[in-house]
Amino acid sequence: MELKLQNQVAIITGASSGIGAGVAKSLAAAGAAVVINYPVPAAKDGAEAVLAEVVASGGKGMVAQCDVSKEADVQKMFSDTVKLYGTVDILVNNAGLQKDAPLEEMTLDEWNFVLSVNLTGQFLCAREAIREFLRRGVDPKRSKAAGKIIHMSSVHEVIPWAGHANYAASKGGIMMLMKSIAQEFAWKKIRVNSICPGAIQTPINRNAWDTPAALKSLLTLIPYQRIGEPEDIGNAAVWLASDDSDYVNGASIFVDGGMLLYPGFTTNG
């Protein structure tokens, strides 16, 4: 059986752990060659471990260090990828972080750090991807589209989040970045969408699930009554990257167990 992403090349930013690692494995299982990006030397082992899993399952890929907030780093990651694999078909703009603080205590550094990785990083990577998609154009042997960008947003592109103003602002920004790029390049057959995860069990939100009391409290926010797994996001990414979603463009796809359903209103209001 032909795999959905056969002959395609995907860059996944922030893929040495968490959601990015899960997405890299899912895309590789669907046949894509995966570029597993990691931000700093300390994360190299994590990226190599993801690559080892990919290879053990019959997939292929490479690791690439790059701080997505640095223009030169991003350009080098894309040119290295094109050198090795010839082009890029799929960008999963996933790298993101939290630096939580009550607003009155939030430093400018905490604000800038989150915005530069979560939002500016997604701009820089999307711009390089768009340049490569425009250069290559549609190749029907690869995909019906000239390229696909998947932004990793969050339920917090919609749900305000006290104590996380920098993070929520970055995700709200991603929503309009995604829609604007989608509108600008749809006629070039480039598809741009977001996945908006709810609570997925990864290091970023460890304190929300690592004790029974924390998990119980978290589940009051999730109608489907389970925490998400990276694979839940990986499955959505494979679909958004494949021609199965060829008519989907400019959409925010919420993969959140119903977190956005205002669960507090189930028995109230």
Query: Rule CB under 6 A: which residues touch ligand BGC?
Result: 98, 154-156, 198-199, 204-205, 208
Beta strands across the sheet bearing 33-38: 60-65, 33-38, 9-12, 90-93, 147-152, 190-197, 252-255
Residue whose token pair is 């040119």:
79
Q: Where are the beta strands (DSSP E) in the chain?
A: 9-12, 33-38, 60-65, 90-93, 147-152, 190-197, 252-255
Smallest gap from residue 157 Cβ to ligand BGC (A) = 9
Q: Which is nearer to ligand BGC, 242 or 252 (CB)?
A: 252
State the nearest-atom distance from the C-beta of 39 to ligand BGC, in Å: 16
- Between 180 and 217, whose beta carbon lies closer to ligand BGC? 217
CB nearer to ligand BGC: give 118 or 242.
118
Measured from the CB of residue 70, what is the shortest distance to ligand BGC in angstroms?
A: 22
Q: Which is closer to ligand BGC, CB of 7 or CB of 98?
A: 98
Cβ 177 vs Cβ 126: under 8 Å: yes
Residue number, 204 or 248, with CB nearest to ligand BGC: 204
**Residue 76 structure tokens:** 């080098």
**Which residues pair with residue 228 across a beta bridge?**
200
Catalytic residues: 167
256/248 Cα distance (integer angstroms)? 19
SS3 169: helix
Among 118, 96, 123, smallest CA distance to 20 is for 96
CB 155 within 8 A of CB 259: yes
> Minimum distance from CB of 198 to ligand BGC (Å)?
5
Own/partner contacts of 258-262, CB < 8 Å, gap of 24 or more, are 258/222, 258/223, 258/224, 259/155, 259/159, 259/198, 259/199, 259/221, 259/222, 259/223, 260/155, 260/158, 260/159, 260/198, 261/223
Smallest gap, in angstroms, from Cβ of residue 40 to ligand BGC? 19
